[in-house]
Structure 1
Amino acid sequence: MSELQINTTQNVKIMFTAAGAGERLLAFVIDTAIKIGYMLVLNWTFGAFDNMDEWSQIAINTVLSFPVMFYTLALESLLDGQTIGKRVLKIRVVKIDGYQASLADYVIRWFFRIVDIYVFGIGFFVILFNKKQQRLGDMAAGTAVIALKDKVNISHTILEELKLDYVPTYPNVIRLSDNDARIIKDTFTAAKLAKDYSTLIKLRNKLVEVVNIKDIKQKTDIEFIDVILKDYNYYTQSM
């Protein structure tokens, strides 16, 4: 499986695992089985209509086949990029720019199924040889299908958990950039795990210098750096 980098609306880069062709094929098989089951039930239930004239049967069959025709479009729109098959396989459609896929995106993907699935299954082969595991519909809509088995934790980004009543301490943290905050968090996390106190001291001193802090209000370096990261997220998320 390939890695897929998504830039969120907060300009945070998150790595996902793109769903493989096998997972997508199995999800398609599950969805197809559901559609076939639906049609078999209808055929058994509405067999009484066999005595109707041909045009009436065509009209009824057309109306009753709508759930099959729009199955994928309806479910992906209602279930945030998932069908029943995708939910079982724990995969989901997302925009590759980090935004939530819109109804228009799902419509484009659904329309391209005509080529991807029903023209020699070309979409399956496109997925196999595409770096982002996209079919033609994904390319046209700017979407991709990701695996949800390894969910991204907030600790993998520069974001910090903030309480609703959080009060910032150092407004000068806005001097930092997203890249600065990312480096600080990575260094801070590694130093804490390794109990590398000398690195924590150097990081504290550098932050005091760059952010221009005159008075440190926390008792320890760990508490101070933790507050710096939280303050940065507080101010940048409010912009």
Structure 2
Amino acid sequence: MGIYAGFRKRFIAIVIDTIILIPFLLMAKSLGFEGQLFEAVICWAYFSGMESSPTQGTIGKIVTGIKVVDLEGNKITWKIASVRYIGRVISFLLCFGGFLIVPFSPKKQGLHDMLAGCFVVNKAYISGIC
């Protein structure tokens, strides 16, 4: 296991996060809040809020033992987390291409990580990433 979190751990984390988000999205829809914009706002708040929090990751990342850091290994800000989320949307629109580059990137970065200037690392290897 290296410093940077690989595709498998990151994929498992996003599956867990999706399972967590589905009930919230369904509940919001049942209350009359629908539409892709509303869903995007819920997802943006979840991902940006959790990744810029002291946990430095979503529930999926916490469970898999990974976290998001900036280029110096520090906690990311809400602004960087928001840029990262926008990069995720772009990666999704590119037929997942921005995510599929993770296994081939030397530092296991996806397009969203590169745009935001951050890494996803294994918690056991948080020092000396630069």
Q: Which range, TM-score by smaller chain?
A: 0.7 to 0.9
Equivalence map 1:37-186=2 (5 Å): 37-44=23-30, 46=31, 57=32, 60-61=33-34, 65=39, 66-148=41-123, 150=124
For the 8 Å contact 2:54–2:75, the answer to whether it is kept is no
**Cα distance, 1:64 vs. partner?**
6.2
**Cα distance, 1:152 vs. partner?**
6.0
Q: After superposition, give the CA deviation of every residue in 1:186-215 in whole Å (9 maximum; x if it has no partner).
A: xxxxxxxxxxxxxxxxxxxxxxxxxxxxxx
- In the alignment, the residues of structure 2 paired with residue 22 and residue 68 of structure 1 have an alpha-carbon distance, to the nearest angstrom, of 21
Larger RCO (CA under 8 A, 6+ residues apart)? 2
The 1:123/1:37 distance shift into structure 2, 3 A limit, reads same
**Cα distance, 1:97 vs. partner?**
2.1
Q: CA RMSD in A?
A: 2.5
Match of 2:5 among 12, 19, 24: 19
**In structure 2, what residue type is equivalent to 1:110?**
Y
Paired residue secondary structure (2:95): coil
TM-score w.r.t. length of structure 1: 0.46
- In the alignment, the residues of structure 1 paired with residue 38 and residue 126 of structure 2 have an alpha-carbon distance, to the nearest angstrom, of 41
**Cα distance, 1:43 vs. partner?**
4.4
**Cα distance, 1:89 vs. partner?**
0.6
Runs of 4+, deviation exceeding 4 Å? none
**Cα distance, 1:79 vs. partner?**
3.8
For the 8 Å contact 2:16–2:60, the answer to whether it is kept is yes
Q: Which runs of 5+ in 2 are unaligned?
A: none
**In structure 1, what residue type is equivalent to 2:10?**
R
**In structure 2, what residue type is equivalent to 1:76?**
E
Paired residue secondary structure (1:145): strand
- Report the number of matched residues: 126
**In structure 2, what residue type is equivalent to 1:38?**
F
- In the alignment, the residues of structure 2 paired with residue 152 and residue 127 of structure 1 have an alpha-carbon distance, to the nearest angstrom, of 19
Q: After superposition, give the CA deviation of every residue in 1:16-57 in whole Å (9 maximum; x if it has no partner).
A: x1101010011011111111122233445x3xxxxxxxxxx5
1:29 maps to 15
**Cα distance, 1:82 vs. partner?**
0.4
Paired residue secondary structure (2:67): strand
